[in-house]
Structures are given as structure tokens and as C-alpha cells.
Structure 1
Amino acid sequence: MLTLTTRQSLHHLPSSLLRKRSLHLAPPFLLDDYTPRYLQLSEVDAAKKRSQAYAHLAKCNLCPRKCGVNRFEKTGWCLIGEKAKVNVIAPHFGEEPCIQGHHGSGSVFFSMCNLRCVFCQNHDISHQRNGMDLTPEELGDWYMKLQEVGNVHNINLITPEHVVPQVALSILHARSQGLRIPIIYNTSSYDSLESLALLDGLVDIYLPDFKVWEPSTSKRLLKADDYAATARESIKAMHAQVGDLCFTGDGIAKSGVLVRHLVMPGLEEEGAKIMRWLAEEVSRDVFVNIMEQYRPSAHVGKVQTRRKTHGGEETEGDKKEERRYAEINRAVKGEEVESVRKAAERAGLWRFCDPPKHDGFNI
């Protein structure tokens, strides 16, 4: 096992030498052991975070929408009030191998979202107010069930940007009940810095998604033209808190940032820009998952009927059918995915979530 002193000295080696190892489970990314950050908080700091969480709910500024509503009384853009609405809580085996491991990730799928992605792959959860309303204490009790009954490797909070105060309070409650596994914040990256400051000291792994680069694209497809600027600011703040992704010897991630990018049809150049930015502005050692599972979903490909006009007037019985968001109404091509991967490698990134080159389990 490596000592702490050995790991610290390896941090000072040139990144080019470290990259020659071609291993992401290697010094300085290998931990002897790990204690979740929330267990290291003092009682004074924990009390401050509780107070801050309630203040956020009273005048919501959790995301760039900055609705400013009192969520004890009404809802804003996300349509969620004082309680979190949760769609599914269960061990999950659809995450990265280093996240799900052998026992699964303790996933908590929150209903609704502060974005309106027209291609949302989980639109039945993120676009609909389905699920059970839970207080922070009830939510924290579910974390304990996942740990004790599910024997999961971590608590994975999925699409939690709009319920950060409830999440903070739930983690602090679960801490008092005996929670001892890492917390993952699984986000679209449309977060405010105030929200991330509240999470500092509570979250071990940030799992941000960086979707698109151009404001015109995000305005059309995400309904937020400031998305990319916000994602850049948010991911840098996340990395400043927890650094690059680190593992224990069993291959399970314990702390750090893992960035996801879903390659989309015709948008590979935007993906390339994202990869270059990650390498130049965050870290060449950042762990990246370049995903190829895009499929037309949610509003993409739905038929939209328009009436034809003559001289500015609509004519009866003369209709034209169009497919909505036709430019992304197809599966992504292998060469588009490969283009983003090559751009990442040219930028100097080297830690990728790749399938195993053997028949065993990929961790």
C-alpha cells in the first residue's frame, strides 16, 4: 500500500510521466482508505449548513433561474416546494463500473429538473411530477436502508440541482443515524455557486454532465442559453472541492470528479470544444465518460402539424407535418463518438471510462 507521503510526492511528477502508466487506478489516484467528507464536518459546521439550507428554501437561488420564491409557500421553475419528490430509490447497476461496483450504486432519482432538455433520456422522471414527497429526514432514512439492506457502495443523488437544501439536510440527518458511505452528486451542471458552496463538505464525488457548448444549441435543446457558461463555472467549482477521481484498491471510486458527455448527432464539434476546455481549464487528469447511448427521446421526433398559409392566411385542409428537432432525430454514429474521443486525446485527456479489454468485470 502507498503511504500518504508517497502519494503526495507523486502529485509533483510531470503529468506526462503519469499518463505513460495508462492506468486510472494508479498513483496518485489510489487511496489506502477513505472517510466520507460529511463525517469530517464539525458539529458547528453542520449546524451552519442546516441554517443555510433553510435560508435557501426561504428565498430560492439554487440554480441560474434564481426564482427567488419562498418554497415553504410556493414553487418556482422546478415545480418542487418544501419537500423533495422522489421517483425511484434502489440499488442501480446502470452507472460507470467504478461507481456501481458489484453491489450497485444507491440511486435516488429525483422528480423534475431545472432544465427542459428536449431529448431527455429520463423524461418520464425529470419532466413529470411523479413519485413520493419526502421530508429531509425521511430521505435520510432511505439512505440508511440503501446502506444497510442494499449494501450499496455509495448514495447516488440523481438530478438533485433543484433540491439541494433538502439533500444537505438529509445527509446531515443520515450522518447522525450512522451513514458511512460516499455521497455522489449526479448533476446536469446547471448549478449555482451558492448551491455548490452548501454542498462543500457533504459531497464526495461530483458526477457532472457537460451537454453542449454553444448558447444557441443550449437555448434550443435545453431551454437555457446560459447553460455552457454555468456548466464551466460549476465544474471548476466542483473540481476545486474534491479534485480528480480517486479509488480504493477494490476499484471503487471514492472521491473526485467524473465528467460525462453524451455525444449527440451532428454536435461532435461542440463535444470537442468541451474536451479541450476540460483539459486546459480543469485538469488533464480529469476522469471522462464519453457516452454513445443517445437516442431520440422526449420531444425529439414527435410529429408537429402546421397549417400552410397563403398570403399570410391559414388555409383549411392544407396541413404540413414536420418532425420536431429533426436535426437530432437519429442515433449517434460511431464516427461521431470517435471524433470526440480523438479530440479528447489530442487535448491531453487520458483517463476514460472504457469497456474492459477482457471477459471479467470492469472495475
Structure 2
Amino acid sequence: MRAGLQLRSGLTRLPRAFTSRLRFPTRRYLHLAPPWLLDDYIARYNLLSPIDAAKKRSLAYAHLRECNLCPRNCGVNRYEKTGICLIGAEKVKVNTIAPHFGEEPCFQGHNGSGSVFFSGCNMRCVFCQNFDIAHQRNGFDLTPEELAEWYMKLQEVGGVHNINLVTPEHVVPQVALSILHARELGLRIPIIYNTSSYDSLESIELMDGLVDMYLPDFKVWSDKTSARLLKVDNYTATAKESIKAMHAQVGDLCFTPDGIAKKGVLVRHLVMPGLEDEGKEIVKWLADKVSKDMMIHIMEQYFPRAYVGRQRRGAEDDAQKPSTAKAKGRYEEINRPVDLSEVASVKKAAEEAGLWRFVEAAKHGGFNI
């Protein structure tokens, strides 16, 4: 029989020559690499043509003359005066520049992420974990050219895996100019745009072609919460718009074979006390409206800082009155560490929505790829 031998049970036995090929294949069958694995990577800013680079420079200077690069939309000429961020046009204020080992494992690797912590911020989160940097504007002033020279030191001396721009929303024009100058100096490593997601579309458009990875933090879901805790209006709509634009540029997070991320988006969500329902809405939206392959870090390290728990204004005078009960601290509803059950609840919602690429802590205590 051509098709094989007919057995009494009605099954067909395949010819011996065919079964021998099945048992002992003469060639290797290679599987395709996953879509998030890169053989090699060239930073996007090194792929810009001279004409496109010149256009980016021109746009950066134009935005500084009529600033609209965050949803505050101050519209000021930053060469003459400052807006809400209190940062001018010619220099940025930087608090710390150093290899950083407190980021996600895929960013910090073995040598660290070359982090640049900018002072100032376009938000006023009452629980800010970097309060002394973002609200108090401590640090030193650098021109875009000097900033580019620091990128080179991080690359050449620090051996870092990337340049990590922390809270750059209010200094996007200067950042663009610094990256363009650094590429002329020989910068090769990827750029991370580490943001609160309170960005304008003009800002994200200016970063297109300059930034390789976006690290947005989607903080809260309701406008009422953002007005009270972030001191901004329309945060949720802005964050949605920004994250969609970021993902449209660089897609889901991709890695080279060494386990280091090189391109794409990783979203952070800091779970806060009593706000796990808002976290659930955020992860559902990411899965439904952006990508189920989005890599996400559901963070549990919230603790009260900045203005949380401080005495209310006039509380000292009220406390002198015998009829007044003991004064509560400000923002008392979030004046406690987050409970691990709240974190687990948000992660469960993310899994049920279809998200599956989670940042996990290294179980062995070391570098986890």
C-alpha cells in the first residue's frame, strides 16, 4: 500500500523509511526568535539624516520661544521668563548624574543605567518620592552641550547600558539639543525617556527619532484623584494620549540576547493605598487600547513622603482649643504604606485583562533577565 500498511484495528502504519526519518531527523529544525528579540541595535538618533537633525534643532529652539511642551501650556518665551516649571531656556538644572542600580533589571544590567535626574517638574505630586529633587530644584546648571559631555562620560567611563533621562517633561527642548550634540561626540547607547506621562503630543513628537525607550508612569485614573494628589487637571486623558503616541513610535519592549532592553515601552504603575481600583482601570486600558504585549511594572514601594502626613495649616492654633480633637495630617487617606494584597489585586486584574509581560524581582537577588 502506498499510504502504508493497514492494521487490523483500522489504523495505518507508516512505511519504515518515513518513521526512521521521524525518529532520527537528518537536519535541525530551528524555531523563529520571539518578536521582541533583536540581533543587534543601533540607537535611533544615529539613524537621523542631517536634514532631520537640523529640523529637530530648529523645532527645539522654536518651542523654547513659545513653550507648549507640556499640558500646562504656559506659552512663555523661556529666554525672557519662566513658566510653572521655573526652568529657563539656556540651561537645565540637574541634581544627579551617575550609573544607577535602582531601575528595572533590563535597564540597569550589570553596569547600571546612566541616569540623569533633572531638578524641577511640571507636576506637584503630594506624595513625590523624589520630593527634594522635583519640588525644591536642588542641583547644578548645565547647557545642552555640557549635558551631552556628561552622556559621553557615562558611556565611556561608566560603561552604562543606556542614558536614562529622569523627569525630562519640562526640559524637552534642551534634552533634544543635548542628544543631537552627543551623537556628534560619538554617543552610541540607547536613550530612555523616563516620564510621569504628563507630556504633550508636541513633546513626544519632538522626541521621535531621538528616544529609543519610553518609561512612562501611569499614576492614577480619575480626574478627581489627579487634581487632589497630583495637582494637575486632565491627567488621565493626557497620559492615555501620551502612552499611545510613545507606543506608536517604538512598539513593545525589545531586548538583545544579553537581556538588556534596547527599544520599546515599559509602563510603570505605583500602587497606592486605597486606590487599587484605579490601578485596575489602568491595566485594563493598557491591555484593551494599547497592547496586550505591553511590558508593565506593578510597583509596591509606595511610602508617604513630601506633604503626606504633614500638619494642616493652622493645625497648631486649633490644637490649643480644648474642644478640638487631635489634628490629622494632610492627605491622611494615603498616609500609610501600601498593602501587598492591594498590589496582588492590581496584578490579578492585569492578568485577567491579558497582560503577561511583568517586571519581576530577581529571586536569586542578582541580575534577572
2:72 aligned partner: 65
- Alpha-carbon distance in structure 2 between the residues aligned to 1:88 and 1:251: 26
Shift of the alpha carbon at 1:301?
A: 0.6
Q: Does 1:335 align with 2:341?
A: yes
Paired position in structure 2 for 1:54: 61
Distance across 2 between alignment mates of 1:294 and 1:135: 34
Offset, 1:130 = 1.0
The gaps in structure 2 that reach 5 residues or longer are 1-29
Determine helix, strand or coil for the equivalent of 1:149. helix
**Structure 2 residue aligned with 1:152:** 160
d(CA) in 1 for partners of 2:44 and 2:247?
Answer: 15
Residues of 2 paired with 1:51 and 1:353: CA distance? 38
**Which position in structure 2 is the counterpart of 1:21?**
none
Q: In structure 1, list runs of 5 or more residues that go unmatched.
A: 1-5, 11-25
Instruction: Name the residue aligned to 2:128.
Output: 120
- Percent identity between matched residues is 73
- Residue pair 2:319, 2:327 contacting (<8 A) in 1 also: no
CA 1:317 to 1:175, structure 2 compared with 1: closer, same or farther past 3 Å?
same
> Is contact 1:113–1:127 with CA below 8 Å preserved after alignment?
yes
Give the whole-Å Cα distance in 2 for the aligned partners of 1:226 and 1:106.
32
Amino acid at match of 1:53: A
Residue 20 of structure 1 corresponds to: none
The two structures have a TM-score, normalised by structure 1, of 0.90
Cross-structure match for 1:250: 258
> How many pairs were matched up?
337
> How far has the Cα of 1:307 moved from its partner?
6.2
Q: SS of 2:158's equivalent?
A: coil
State the 1:302 CA deviation: 0.7
2:177 alignment partner in structure 1: 169
The secondary structure found in structure 2 opposite 1:89 is strand
Aligned partner of 2:359: which letter?
C
CA RMSD of aligned residues (A): 1.8
Aligned mates of 2:38, 2:315 — CA distance in 1: 63
**Equivalent position SS for 1:303:** coil
**Structure 1's 359 and 64: CA in aligned 2 closer, same or farther, altered over 3 A?**
closer
What is the letter of the counterpart of residue 49 of structure 2? S
> Which structure shows the bigger proportion of residues in strand conformation?
1
**What is residue 362 of structure 1 aligned with on the other side?**
368
Of the three residues 158, 164, 187, the one matched with 1:179 is 187
Distance, in Å, in 1 between the alignment partners of 2:172 and 2:313 is 40
Conserved 8 A contact 1:306-1:321:
no
What SS class does the counterpart of residue 115 from structure 2 fall into? strand
1:24-39 superposed matches below 5 A: 27-39=34-46
Alignment of 1:35-114 (within 5 A): 35-82=42-89, 83-114=91-122
Residues in 2 aligned to 1:197 and 1:316: alpha-carbon distance in whole angstroms: 55
TM-score w.r.t. structure 2 length?
Answer: 0.88
Q: Which has the larger radius of gyration?
A: 2
The offset of 1:357, in angstroms, is 4.1
